[in-house]
Amino acid sequence: MKLKQMGVLSIALMSFTNAIAQKIHNADKAAGYLFAYFEGSGDKNTQEQLRFAVSQDAQNWVALNNNKPILSSADISQTGGIRDPHILRGEDKKSFYMVATDMFTAKNGWGSNPGIILMRSDNLTDWKHNTIDLAKLYPKKFKNVKWVWAPQTIYDPVAKKYLVYFTVKSYENDKLDFYAAYANKDFSGFEREPTLLFSPKFGGIDGDIVYKDGLYHFFFKGNTKDGVGKEVKNGIQQATSKSLKGPWKEDFRYLDAYADTSVVVEGSSLFKLNGTDDYILMYDLYANGRYEFQRTDDLFNFSSKPEALRKNFNPRHGSVISISKEESRLLNSKWGGVPGELLSPEDVDDRYRFTAKGNPIIKHHFTADPAAMVKGDTLWLYAGHDFAGGQQGYKMKDWIVYSTTDLKNWTEYPVSLRISDFTWAKSGDAFAGHVTERNGKYYWYISSNWSGIGVAVADRPEGPFRDALGKPLLTNKDCFASSHSWACIDPAVFIDDDGQAWIFWGNRECYYAKLKENMVEIDGEVKQLNFEGLAFTEAPWVHKHNGKYYLSYATEFPEKIAYAMADKIDGPYVYKGILNEIAGNSNTNHQAIVPFKNQWYFIYHNGGINPDGGSFSRSICIDTLNYRADGTIHKIEMTTEGTTGD
């Protein structure tokens, strides 16, 4: 091989290797946070169970598994309950360790507990567990142990082992001290009997050790006592040491914002914010049913004003680690509930694959205004994106692309088109769109509320798309029979058998026109469609079956889907009736109708995602569409099962 050829090959191989490495890095980089906790509300018999929640920003949290336990305490503990779970990412970045208090106060009270639980996982979803009963395993030293509380784990880089530490109280001594022991290799037990790690002057619970800049910081709930031993103050304190084994130097300052008030806190836990130098000190306001945090960048000085965690659950003493998108996807596949921002691909080569389980087919995003295109054995779904649940108005800033070969297993692609890509769209609204293919190019016609209808183009069905014109294709000036500002919306394109492309659109009035071969210019005059029984609201869609043209559209408000038939695409159309009744929990309706693998399908949206679905937070569904012998269509039966049968 010539040296020049070898050089080219080396460069190509290096580029390929770098691309693979970048893809791995993108999949592994921190994207959000996982919170392990036990619940503080509801049935007391189910509160002391392990639960997970996730967040993208460490402030807005969503419970996984509908806030049900992810593991049964009856299966992993001696008592039937767990408290104070602490989760740690292993030094290899791929393994995970979790410890918890083995205690079921709802059944056994606060009298005593035997020990702790150790758990290990390689994927965050499958956990091996073991229990440690200090009195039974180490009777010489711990036969009179009363409490073994709030264990945590830290990696010791000197010993190259994981140190588990926890609070111990015995029956003969009220002092609360921290003991520790190294875990064995498989994290199923201790190497030897625990020894004293730290004895705060007035005792302490809920220890949390963080290493930063050559110093170990030991945070704990401490207290102050007067000369006769009466507690006069309590809250979050810290001690420091250059060695994990101590000695620890106590700083008797209180760090939490409530130490000088009657509000009590415990369960302090620190974690670093992704991509910053800041840390969060969060704690449990257990008597008030709140969870709050303060910020720090040096672990000594903390923000004075506490901030609240926003959440759909009521956590008690827990802990947080950073997680990647791949880990978020694993968690979602096991328990569900992960929000879309932690699942959706962002990098050009990334994909998110998921399985639809009935209707709605997409549950991690709020999606609306479906448009579908079939190419070969693949159905491509182009969706509007309602940005959040429980919205009180339309907030839509981008569109999302999905594909499937069986209507059950779906692929989500990185967002390839945003309303900000159309610099002329001053409305900032990413309303309904439609995609079609011509001459190897893919054209995405979008509406932007009052700014007009635009068109973007791409070389692949998933994009990326770019503005094809730099200006709107159609504006309100083209809607000659309309007087309201949102008349120029909801484009739908149909390419007839003779190759002529048509575009339909409108609100209150239905307009149509021919498109030129280049797909980015109107060919001739804009016309208005009208016929007896039309009652047009919006969302036109044209399809063809057995030589007949079908125009379906949203009618009245709240919207139903009606349809009409014609022998020619420009009519005259004959009204045939209601095709789809009001979709659950949504004032609007919007349909796509396509044939896919010998079956016709009706794709629409409703407000069916619980608990935050609604008219402004919608979700796409799919059900079958069937014709009668005379070409008319059977009324759509909207189902929960959808096309997947789940």
Coil vs helix vs strand at 606: strand
234, 236, 241, 244 alpha-carbon torsion, rounded to 10°: 110
Q: Which two tokens stand for residue 425?
A: 């769209």
Can 177 be counted among the known catalytic residues?
A: no
CB 345 within 8 A of CB 328: no
Given 250, 386, 462, 538, which residue is catalytic? 538
The distance of Cα 253 from the centroid of its chain, to the nearest Å, equals 39
Question: What's the CA gap between 378 and 639, in Å, rounded?
Answer: 23
Positive or negative CA dihedral for 183, 185, 189, 192?
negative
Task: Provide the CA 387 distance to its chain's centre, in angstroms.
Answer: 12
Rounded Cα distance between 152 and 554, Å, is 58
- CA 620-323-131 angle, to 5 degrees, is 115
- DSSP E strands in 297-448: the ranges are 307-308, 310-311, 315-324, 352-355, 366-375, 378-386, 398-404, 409-412, 417-418, 433-438, 441-447
Contact 399, 422 (CB under 8 A): no
> In whole angstroms, what is the distance from residue 415 CA to residue 32 CA?
19
Asked whether 236 and 221 are in contact (CB, 8 A), the reply is: yes
Other Cβ atoms within 10 Å of 93 Cβ, number: 9
Q: Which residue is catalytic, options 84, 292, 369, 462? A: 369
Residue 538 annotated among the catalytic residues of the structure: yes
Q: Phi, psi (5° rounding) for residue 313?
A: -155, 175
Cα torsion angle, 312, 584, 573, 379, sign? positive
Helix (H, G, I), strand (E, B), or coil: what is residue 22? helix
Task: Tell me the catalytic residues.
Answer: 369, 538
